[in-house]
Chains A and B, each alone.
Chain A
Amino acid sequence: MEIPYTVQNRPDTGLYNAKLGIWLFLASEVMLFGGLFSAYILLRVSQPPGGWPHGWLDVRLGTVNTLLLALSAITTLLAWAACKVREFGKFKFFHACTILLALTFLGIKSYEYHDKWIHYEIQLANGKIADGHLIEKSADFDLAKITGTVTLHGREVENHVELMDLRSPAAQSAKLDEMTIPASDIKKMENYGPRHNTFTAIYFTLTGLHALHIFGGTLVIFYLWGPGSKLYKTDPERFTNRIEVSGLFWHFVDLVWIFLFPVLYLT
């Protein structure tokens, strides 16, 4: 006996096997991201007043990325529709667009990560805080040996609280300068990596996991667009099903971003 309903729908469920499979998988993904979003909510509401940062992420870049993914959802749908009406050329074009859009998304995301990685908060010996993006470290810079200097593009503040709300008028009007700080003035130096505070931890973990999903989805779509598309010649119906199933996953990943964007960038 062969396994039935690999391509055709089972009459009483109206589904072929893989479509049911991907919906079940997506249900588990909902629970995965549901767990992470619950963690976000619980950690955020338990912060002391003023403890949650605002405006740390670039809304413009976030908006561009949102539009990129929304557009890729459309091209994914069109690619599937093209397969459905057996227009292979159009399928190739639309999924090429999907792949390019996804890669652009990942490019922008990497830029944002890098921007946070070179952003430093330095506690100075005089009790003030220097905060800004790294321009350069002198060749002999070493915190342990207390030698050399570090140059930031940013500002100096009296209190850590001033760094928390970058949307406040005070922060908006702050003048950013280049400043060079000798190692002897530095008490503690830390970049805006995951360990910086709860917000950056959540930001890197959630968007990182999402980016992994984007990366995995792109790999699958690239395979179906390239070497995997040979199947179209021999079994177009099965191939169309594969495009549909991978498309369902892609739409889910887009949807996760639709939640991530307001939760991390806009609030």
Chain B
Amino acid sequence: METTVQQFPPFRETPAHPGHDDHGHGEHHEPNFWQKYIFSTDHKVIGIQYGFMALCFMLFGFFLMLLMRWQIAHPQMPVPFFGPILEKILGQPAAGGAISPELYNSFGAMHGTIMVFLGVVPLAFAAFGNYVVPLMIGAPDMTFPRINMASFHAFFLGGIVMLVSFFIPGGAAQAGWTSYSPLATTIPTNGQAFWLVGMVLLITSSLLGAVNFIATIIQLRAPGMTWMRLPWFVWAQFVTAFILLLAFPPLEAAGVLQLMDNVAGTSFFLPTGLAVGGQLADRSGGGSPLLWQHLFWFLGHPEVYVLILPAMGIVIEVIANNTRKPIWGYKSLVYSVLGVGFLSFIVWAHHMYLTGMGQKIATFFQATTMMISVPSVIILTCMFLSLWGGAIRINTPMLFALGFLPMFGIGGLTGLPLGLAACDLYLHDTYYIIAHFHYVVAPGTIFALFAGVYFWFPKMTGRKMNEFWGRVHFWCSFAFMNIVFMPMFVQGIKGMLRRMSDGGINYSAARVPNAIDALPGTAMQMNGVILWAAICLGIAQIPFIINLFWSISHGEKVGTNPWRATTLDWQTPTPPPHGNFAHEPQVTHGPYEYSMPGAAEDFTPQDAPADKTATAPQPAH
């Protein structure tokens, strides 16, 4: 569309920005520590703040999971080593160092909440989006830097509220991350109120971020950065921001209503004649538990795409860079991501086949659910086809991106039986579900996020992370992830229900030998295997953590564009100064012009002077 040739030497390798060599500490005189790291309005600092917090929360959420896995494999046995600490901190619910069913429930609810809302979304959307999107589109910053800062502060506060709720009498929320009513209102703890207040803060944070991202991508694209020249990562973030913008408010509405139920004694989600503990509840009734589920899943399902789309964006960038050839089907990718974004709003009730909402509604949502798999598969197919005939460079980011493909494939394909109401009725609420969505978000999304960390680390610090330990991290994580989650498919098919604090022991063939649907001994033994695989998975993250911090100061020093990438984020100094670009970049090339015939090198940066290719036929945009 815009091919005006500005004879303006674009920014190339220039002497490093002052303050780059010793990674920024104290080189700028004006801002002090607080202004620079806590109340910063610079999108890069905010991105790193988000990333650091999100990684901490993910580690914490992982630790909760380890405690739960211990309880599942060894019900009511004291947790080794951590048991006494738990008892000291939490008191009665962890009496004797063992995890009580109530504590198990709150760990379960908080593991989900923390991983989704405090871990993956802030890392995938807020951290990478904040750091990379303005650089990729050639913008000096986000459109609203102070709103960006407010967004991080709301997130931080939301996280604090969630953590504090562990220590109140009664403990944290226990009704699962889905907080179904009336359970969420009748459990005797204020943890649910804390959860709701925390969620309102997190939603506020996401909304501010989403407005900022969309406005930035629409308004601040550099000259020549047309829509069809946007790196696909930016498209993915753009659609993700729209999903957050439009899907989160109904959950905020639901949160306000449930907060009224919990605090003001209303009955929005409580049916008439509700009995609690054998007593008729002192409530007016007349509410609808189904209403909560509709409002929750109206966010809850699009949220799945919030988790996966930025991860797919990272994978596309890494694959294009390491296959050294244009990504296959860029336009199909763009239209598919728009399709996924739209369809994600009309599939939510496939989480509710078992609620008795009616077969006609179930049929509708079954149809839309099958429809949304079409653009999703197009995206995955484009990724696979991009590998075809490429001179693939294998490095840590690429390993994680390649690992993403089959793992997400497994996660996606095992979702098909869940989208069909008939088989979902059987599989609903079993470990099959747990395995399915963890394949999507754990070895799927989180692998892509690791790829992103290894990939953009040199941009943030000017140094690469250690390659050897990166590979150790990948192969160990890859192996143990699969040993953790693969057996859960079997357990689920054998009928093991999720959310049971005893790991199904009361339904095992050993306890009820005469029941035909009792859980066989193999399914029970898998609990032990999963526990040890999970512990090993935790150990496998230690090289990553050490590598991450060690490389900040000791990693191999690299130039501004170590991966020899085309996109604008690699055409600025490293780390990018405040304002990002020395002057406004003029974009003249598509996002993935690798190995173009006639080009001097095997990559043509997006802002490379156009004269070399000006005579070549321009693709119609």
Contact = CB atoms under 8 A, between A and B. Distances in A.
A29 B286 CA distance: 27
B313 interface: no
Interface string B118-159: 000000000000000000000111011101000000000000
Given A21-B144, A39-B295, A46-B288, A3 B220 contact: yes
Interface stretch (B30-38, B243-251, B456-464): B243-251
A28 B144 contact: no
A236 interface: no
B584 A20 contact: no
Interface in A4-24: 4-5, 10, 13, 15, 17-18, 20-21, 24
A194 B257 CA distance: 11
Contact of B284 (A18, A29, A195): A195
A209 B218 contact: no
Contact of B220 (A5, A21, A25, A32): A5
Given A5-B220, A15-B219, A28-B207, A36 B253 contact: yes
B266 A205 contact: yes
A29 B245 CA distance: 9
A198 B286 CA distance: 6
B472 interface: no
A2 B139 CA distance: 9
B256 interface: yes
Contacts of B583: 1
| Chain A interface extent, by class | 35 or more
Given A35-B254, A201-B260, A21 B284 contact: no
B288 A42 contact: yes
B228 interface: no
Nearest to B226: A12
B453 to A, nearest CB: 27
Contact of A3 (B141, B214, B249, B268): B141
Contacts of A2: 140, 579
Given A24-B215, A32-B249, A1 B140 contact: yes
Contact of A195 (B253, B257, B267): B267
Contact of A20 (B139, B219, B291): B219
A43 B581 contact: no
A115 to B, nearest CB: 18
B477 interface: no
A204 B214 CA distance: 34
A38 B257 CA distance: 12
A204 B251 CA distance: 19
Nearest to A20: B215
A51 interface: yes
Interface in A145-161: none
B268 A39 contact: yes
A55 B388 CA distance: 70
B140 A31 contact: no
A195 B291 CA distance: 18
A34 interface: yes
A39 B291 contact: yes
A18 B216 CA distance: 11
A81 to B, nearest CB: 25
B580 interface: yes
B41 to A, nearest CB: 11
A198 B295 contact: no
A196 interface: yes
Contacts of A205: 256-257, 260, 266, 268
B256 to A, nearest CB: 7
A211 B270 CA distance: 26
B250 A28 contact: no
Interface string B52-68: 00000000000000000
Nearest to A197: B284
Nearest to B252: A32
A173 interface: no
B298 interface: yes
A212 to B, nearest CB: 10
A35 B298 contact: yes
B207 A25 contact: yes
Nearest to A47: B286
B620 interface: no
Q: Which of A1, A31, A197, A205 has the most CB of B within 10 A?
A: A1
Given A5-B219, A28-B245, A198-B284, 19 more contacts: A3-B139, A3-B141, A3-B143, A21-B143, A21-B144, A21-B147, A21-B211, A28-B248, A31-B245, A31-B250, A32-B250, A35-B249, A35-B253, A38-B250, A38-B294, A38-B295, A43-B287, A194-B266, A201-B268
Interface of A: 1-5, 10, 13, 15, 17-18, 20-21, 24-25, 27-29, 31-36, 38-39, 42-43, 46-47, 51, 193-198, 201-202, 204-205, 209
27 contacts: A1-B580, A3-B141, A3-B143, A3-B220, A5-B220, A13-B218, A17-B215, A20-B143, A20-B214, A21-B212, A24-B215, A28-B210, A31-B246, A31-B248, A32-B252, A32-B253, A34-B249, A34-B250, A39-B253, A39-B257, A39-B268, A194-B266, A195-B266, A197-B284, A198-B284, A205-B256, A205-B268
